[in-house]
């Protein structure tokens, strides 16, 4: 009798733990409710406005589903997406490859929202150049587009051989501005806007390389889990989200006061500062421009550079022995890598539908 009670108790404990693990996943699969995660970035802030203005609800209602939008820290949003707690997430092409895709979560990019056109920059003090950079410590968030940008900068400046000599200091983005500016002995930093603007406010710091020199290589995507997309409700979700997105982004691009106000407020920036960030963000305002870019040959070249970078840095995981093991499929049917192991898909169908007004 007594021992039975004890048994029940431990059973309850384990049940509680199990439920904690699995409830989020099951709940989203059963109800026609979908969750979108996003984090603070010039190209993603409009999601905040999209929700606040009711545009999202309008589109969701049209398709008879519910869509929730949740703001995360960037890393946390990726973790949640990989753990299947959310159905769609805003991320860069690089993270789409090395987080969900490399972790075996088949993902599809349904919106190519923009590419960084100067948002990310390599900043230095004292006339440092790529030739003299390798001997100095460089502060950056390692294994992100910042490191990618730095390497591309080195390569494009003929310093490929020096890559191994870079001394990188992994610095959290929340402290990188203070840490860099407060000590004159820190001579180089790689980061993104609005942090870049805060750092270059110091006159002794200037940019020697930024993402406008590698246009289209750092893309910002809306990624949906392929298994969600393959259900009828999931397709409704993708259509609703795409429709809402283009309505939103066109208002932002047209400079509508509320759209700008809310988008700026999403990251706590002033409207001025947000406009400045948009200048270095190449937004695909019309669905057509996005479709043209996604369907074009350039994307494959850019993705090739990115996937080689990821593989070289072990971002595809310990178990991946070839860069082709995390393959990428493009709208025209070509596959980069092993055809049996497609993990990341670019799908322009929804953007096309938006272009044709069929949403």
Partner 1 sequence: MTNLSPFDIQARPNRLLAQALSCVLFVVCIGLYMHTSVERHKENAEDRVVPSGHQLVAGIRSAVLEPAEEDDYIPAESASTWERLRHSMIWKDTASSGGRFFISLALLIPFVVLAVHIGLFPWFGAGFLRFFLFFDKIVALSLLPILFIAFGIDQWSKIALIVIGVAPTMILDVTQMVKAVPQEQIVKAFTLDANNFDVAYRVVFRQVLPQVINSLRLNLKPMMLFLFAGEMIAASDGLAYRIAIMRRHMGMDVILPYVLWVALLLFLIDFSLRVINRRLHPWFQA
Separation CA 174–CA 85 (nearest Å): 25
**Residue 31: Cβ within 10 Å count:** 11
Q: Is 244 or 310 the residue whose CB approaches partner 1 more closely?
A: 310
- 45-64 binders of partner 1 (CB under 8 A): none
3-class DSSP state of 103: coil
Tokens of 190: 């790689």
Burial 255-278 (b: 16+ CB within 10 A, else e): ebeebbebbbbbbebeeebbeebb
**Does 30 engage in binding with partner 1 (CB under 8 A)?**
no
Separation CA 229–CA 226 (nearest Å): 5
Tokens of 240: 């609703």
Among 58, 167, 279, 358, the residue binding partner 1 under the rule CB under 8 A is: 167
Among 37, 86, 98, 218, the residue binding partner 1 under the rule CB under 8 A is: 98
Among 40, 103, 335, 349, the residue binding partner 1 under the rule CB under 8 A is: 103
Number of residues that bind partner 1 (CB under 8 A): 48
Q: Is the dihedral of CA 251, 254, 259, 260 positive or negative?
A: positive
Burial 293-319 (b: 16+ CB within 10 A, else e): bbbeeebeebbeebbebbbeeebbeee
**Does 143 engage in binding with partner 1 (CB under 8 A)?**
yes
Would you say how long the chain is, in residues?
359
**Does 170 engage in binding with partner 1 (CB under 8 A)?**
yes
Residue 209 CA neighbour count, 13 Å, CB half: 22
- 120-139 binders of partner 1 (CB under 8 A): 137, 139
**Does 175 engage in binding with partner 1 (CB under 8 A)?**
yes
Among 31, 83, 201, 308, the residue binding partner 1 under the rule CB under 8 A is: 83
**Does 199 engage in binding with partner 1 (CB under 8 A)?**
no
**Does 253 engage in binding with partner 1 (CB under 8 A)?**
no
**Does 260 engage in binding with partner 1 (CB under 8 A)?**
no
Minimum distance from residue 287 beta carbon to partner 1 (Å): 31
**Does 3 engage in binding with partner 1 (CB under 8 A)?**
yes
Minimum distance from residue 21 beta carbon to partner 1 (Å): 6
Which residues contribute to the site for partner 1 (CB under 8 A)?
2-3, 5-6, 9-10, 13-14, 17-18, 21, 75, 79, 82-83, 98-99, 102-105, 137, 139, 142-144, 167-172, 174-176, 178-179, 182-183, 185-186, 313-319
């Amino acid at each position: 009798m007594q021992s039975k009670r004890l048994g029940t108790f431990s059973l309850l404990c384990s049940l509680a733990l199990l439920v904690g693990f699995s409830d989020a996943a099951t709940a989203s699969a059963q109800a026609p409710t979908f969750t979108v995660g996003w984090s603070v970035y010039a190209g993603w802030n409009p999601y905040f406005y999209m929700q606040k203005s009711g545009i999202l609800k309008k589109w969701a209602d049209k398709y008879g589903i519910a869509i929730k939008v949740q703001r995360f820290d960037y890393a946390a949003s990726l973790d949640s997406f990989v753990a299947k707690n959310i159905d769609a997430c805003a991320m860069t092409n690089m993270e789409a490859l090395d987080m969900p895709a490399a972790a075996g979560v088949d993902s599809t990019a349904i919106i190519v929202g923009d590419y960084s056109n100067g948002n990310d920059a390599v900043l230095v003090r004292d006339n440092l150049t790529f030739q003299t950079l390798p001997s100095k410590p460089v502060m950056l968030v390692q294994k992100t587009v910042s490191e990618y940008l730095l390497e591309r900068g080195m390569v494009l400046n003929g310093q490929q051989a020096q890559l191994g000599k870079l001394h990188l200091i992994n610095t959290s983005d929340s402290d990188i501005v203070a840490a860099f500016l407060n000590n004159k002995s820190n001579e180089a930093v790689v980061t993104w806007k609005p942090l870049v603007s805060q750092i270059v406010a110091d006159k002794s710091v200037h940019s020697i390389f930024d993402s406008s020199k590698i246009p289209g290589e750092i893309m910002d995507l809306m990624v949906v889990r392929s298994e969600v997309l393959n259900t009828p409700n999931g397709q409704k979700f993708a259509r609703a989200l795409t429709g809402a997105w283009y309505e939103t982004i066109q208002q932002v691009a047209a400079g509508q006061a509320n759209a700008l106000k809310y988008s700026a407020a999403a990251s706590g920036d002033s409207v001025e500062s947000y406009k400045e960030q948009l200048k270095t963000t190449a937004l695909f305002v019309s669905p057509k421009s996005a479709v043209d870019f996604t369907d074009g040959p350039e994307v494959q070249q850019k993705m090739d550079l990115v996937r080689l970078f990821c593989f070289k840095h072990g971002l595809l995981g310990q178990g991946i022995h070839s860069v082709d093991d995390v393959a990428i499929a493009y709208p025209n049917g070509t596959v980069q890598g092993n055809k049996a192991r497609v993990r990341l898909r670019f799908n322009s169908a929804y953007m096309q539908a938006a272009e044709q007004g069929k949403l």
